Amino acid sequence: MAPRKPDKDGKIVIIGASPFGLSTALHLAARGYKDITIFDKRSQSDLTDLSKQTIPYAAIHYRSADKTLHRNLSVEAFTAWNAWNKELWGGETVPPGLSPEDRLFINNGYFYLFEGDAIPDADVARVRALEQKGLGGVQLLTTDLGHVSSANSRMFHIDPFRREERDKADSGVLDSLGGTVLIENVYRFVIHKARTLGIKFILGPPEGAVEKIEHTGRGTDGVRDVKGLRTRDGKTHDLDNAVWASEDSIPNITSPLDTTATRSIETTAVVRIPTDGELWEQFSPDNFPSWEHKLRNEQGAVLFGFPRDEAGHLIIGIRATAGPNIAREDAATDRIKIFIAEFLPELKVAGLGLEKLSTSSPGKAYPRTIDRVPGVNNLLLVADASIPGEEFLLLPSIGGHVVDVLEGGAPAVEAWGWKSGSSGKPTTKPEPGGLPKAKL
């Protein structure tokens, strides 16, 4: 039985004010859907108050996967980020607490820092492959004089760790499309934009906490409908279509959200940069990129960091699977100190110490899914916890692809299809024709 296309005047409920949930709401409104409500157990201040964010930034960068579809997703997303910046700067959408002088996304680059005297062959090959596909200039090699010249002419800092000044090998790749998302600003902007489009929000416990989904009985075809949801305050909300965009498990339905795979543990620390002196400018968002540094012989552990924020916090973290010793808090902090001594010695020279910020508990790692829930006519799952930061990269654009599925299409990427419990393989296949363009 073919899925029913939602009525433009029908009640559409989105559970979860996640990046994917918010994006879905915006794209639904852009296509003319009039009755959209987002539920979330978090309050608006939980989403928009910087003091409640452990890390104020999200790093985003170009996904140079082998498949054209994945590359197109990245380009589509960055185009949308730049459009949102212009919307803010032009005064078209200016939420309370922001001004047209603020930014949502800073295109200060994303830097892959390597050890040793040479960039790994695989990374060089990836950049050369992009050049052959007409995408030269997207990722720049620090060892290519032409690329260095291109970076300088475009006001990128291709040696952000000042390796050459110290007579050290400068081995890295600068992603010129990438940069830094200001999480607080983005949530303020998106929620305000959504409300101006008529999207409603029910936030915070207990009224925004969804505890039960109510179904109709199964029809002769064995398929049922969601007819409403019950929140923690005891109220029932009827609906015509539902989109589950929360990382919480769907009540009474086994889904990819129930995977037993664990996400990496992140340990973060902070160096407080004084407002006076050269370090303030050196590590500002306009002069210093978001970055990552893969650790050799550490089972996939990655160091990562951001420019300093307005309070002078320079955050450096380490992401590792739960097994290796480096995932322990003390070992992770020691490894960050070793990194600073080698790549950021000016911090030690200035007498700036390292302060522990946080250690995350290992959450669930579930695959990106944008598909209908099998056996339910009007329930869609939108989930992603596979690649850190990826959900923010796609925030402005991914909702268009969600709406495509809601309107009866197949997932644009086969791997986004529902994963069956037995095989773990997608149970749907995409329509031919490649990736549709987001419509926002």
Question: How high is the pLDDT of residue 259?
Answer: 64
pLDDT attached to residue 220: 66
Nearest C-alpha neighbor of 297 from the set 324, 319, 322: 324
Pick from 81-90, 365-374, 411-420 the range whose average pLDDT is largest: 81-90
Per the rule left: phi > 0, alpha: psi between -120 and 50, beta: everything else, 389 is: left
Higher local confidence (pLDDT), 367 or 39: 39
Determine whether 37 is exposed, middle or buried from the number of CB atoms within 10 Å of its CB (0-12, 13-18, 19+): middle
Q: Average pLDDT of 388-404?
A: 88
Domains and CATH numbers, the chain: 1-107+180-260+365-440 (3.50.50.60), 110-179+261-359 (3.30.9)
Instruction: Evaluate if residue 51 carries a pLDDT over 80.
Output: no
pLDDT of residue 9: 97
Instruction: Look up residue 298 and give its two tokens.
Output: 């550490």
- Which of 26-35, 256-265, 403-412 is predicted with the least confidence, judged by mean pLDDT? 256-265
- The residues, any chain, with a CB within 8 Å of residue 290's CB and separated by 6 or more, are 57, 59, 60, 61, 108, 109, 110, 111, 178, 179, 180, 304, 305, 306, 307
Q: What is the reported pLDDT for 52? A: 66
Highest mean pLDDT among 38-52, 140-154, 309-323, 325-339: 140-154
When pLDDT is cut at 50, 70 and 90, the band that residue 201 belongs to is very high
Query: What pLDDT, in 10s, does the model give residues 184-198?
Result: 999 999 999 999 999
pLDDT for 117 equals 87
And the tokens for 135?
């995408």
R_g over Cα of the chain? 23
pLDDT at residue 70 greater than cutoff 80: no
For residue range 296-329, what is the model confidence (pLDDT) as tens digits?
A: 877 778 999 999 999 999 999 998 876 667 767 7
Flag whether pLDDT at 109 surpasses 60.
Answer: yes
Q: Nearest to residue 143, comparing CAs of 106, 166, 116?
A: 116
Evaluate if residue 182 carries a pLDDT over 60: yes
Q: What is the end-to-end Cα distance of the chain in Å, rounded? A: 30
Q: What pLDDT does residue 20 have?
A: 94
pLDDT at 427: 45
Predicted local distance difference test score (pLDDT) of residue 145 = 96
Q: Which two tokens stand for residue 406?
A: 């809601």
CA–CA separation, 50 and 121 (whole Å): 40
